[in-house]
Amino acid sequence: MKKRVGILISGRGSNMRALVEAAKAPDYPAEIALILSNRPDAAGLDYARTEGIPAAVVDHKPFRKDREGFERTMQAALESHGVEIVALAGFMRLVTPWFVEQWHDRLINIHPALLPSFKGLDTHQRAIDAGVKLHGATVHLVRAEMDEGPILMQGAVPVLPDDSEETLAARVLAVEHRIYPQALALLCSDAVTVEGLRAKTPVADQPPLIA
């Protein structure tokens, strides 16, 4: 049985697109049941609609002082579409411990850095400024603390001497689009066991570490 996945977006939605494309394969263990955006103008919504995938907007603005109300409205939308696993894909709102608890070990995120380095925003410029030689992306299970949680998969890229934030971001994004569908597939095939901060996955399913 394919798992029903809800994808939360706020903007461009290129990772969402990678997940939707992957889910077209007959043997992919997930189907995309809902695309949910907190911004009515998210570009990714148009793509979802052209693909015939249910798309919904829960605008955070009317809930400015009521984060719980915002999340309960999202939760109702996810439940009404029978969602079993939630993938954050460029969703730019912090989720509360309540929401994380509803989706314990069923909520994943992609972060554009090799966690636990460079949590938060502006990861590519910070990686360049720090002089690291390897950078990349991480798919992890979400916990209450921002950008923390058991790591499902990572992909690394070199940082080249002439890199700008843009060139490095593009190199990382290509890796994001490879590892996010693979990591979601692992979770949806019940191939992940979690012990503390360690998520154990079959080694054979890991992609090459360095792109």
Kindly list the catalytic residues: 111
Mask: binding to ligand GRF, 112-141, rule CB under 6 A, as x and -? x-----------------------------
Question: What is d(CA 152, CA 186) in angstroms, rounded to the nearest whole number?
Answer: 8
Shortest-Cβ-distance residue relative to ligand GRF: 90
Looking at 10-18, 19-27, 158-166, 187-195, which segment touches ligand GRF (CB under 6 A)? 10-18
Which parts of 43-188 fold into alpha helices (H)? Answer: 43-50, 67-80, 97-102, 123-130, 165-188
Tokens 């939360």 sit at which residue? 8
By CB under 6 A, tell whether 155 contacts ligand GRF: no
Site size toward ligand GRF (CB under 6 A) is 14
Q: State the number of CA atoms in the 13 A half-sphere of 136 facing the CB.
A: 22
β-pairing, 193-195 vs 198-200, is antiparallel
Q: Given candidates 85, 89, 157, 185, which one binds ligand GRF under the rule CB under 6 A?
A: 89
Closest CA to 168 of 119, 122, 117, 200: 122
Strand locations in 130-187 (E): 134-141, 151-158
Q: Given candidates 111, 135, 140, 171, which one binds ligand GRF under the rule CB under 6 A?
A: 111
Question: What is d(CA 169, CA 188) in angstroms, rounded to the nearest whole number?
Answer: 28
Look up residue 121 and give its two tokens: 């925003």
Looking at 28-36, 47-55, 78-86, 104-112, which segment touches ligand GRF (CB under 6 A)? 104-112
Q: Which is nearer to ligand GRF, 76 or 146 (CB)?
A: 146
Q: Which is nearer to ligand GRF, 15 or 38 (CB)?
A: 15
Question: What is d(CA 106, CA 21) in angstroms, rounded to the nearest whole number?
Answer: 21
By CB under 6 A, tell whether 11 contacts ligand GRF: yes
- Give the binding site for ligand GRF (CB under 6 A): 9, 11-16, 89-90, 110-112, 173, 176
